[in-house]
Amino acid sequence: MNKELLEVMSDLEHRRWSSWQKYLHSKCEKLEDGSLVIPGGYVENLERLIKTDYKDLTEKEKESDRDEARNGIELYEKVK
């Protein structure tokens, strides 16, 4: 296994996850005890996305996934 590639891709995954968490938290209501409440309408949209195959996403939703894929491809090309 290419250890350099593993580290680069692991860094990308952490940045992707951190970005997602920041976005998700911005959609939530923070309670006094620090808990987060995800609004019902947003949960419904997330559940729809979870159940939807990539091919059936809207172009805007596909473009969001493409942006993430581009980040991975760019990093991969730097270390291959």
Res. 36: pLDDT tops 80: yes
Helix (H, G, I), strand (E, B) or coil at 10: helix
**pTM of this prediction?**
0.77
Residue 29 sits at φ, ψ, to 5 deg, of -100, 125
Q: Are 28 and 39 in contact (CB under 8 A)?
A: yes
Q: How confident is the model at residue 54 (pLDDT cuts 50, 70, 90)?
A: very high
Q: What is the 3-state secondary structure (H, E, C) of 35-59?
A: CEECCHHHHHHHHHHHHCCHHHCCH
Considering only residues 76 and 58, tell me which one the structure prediction assigns the higher pLDDT.
58
Strands (E), 1-80: 29-30, 36-37
Rounded distance between C-alpha atoms, residue 72 and residue 64, angstroms:
13
What mean pLDDT value characterizes the chain? 93
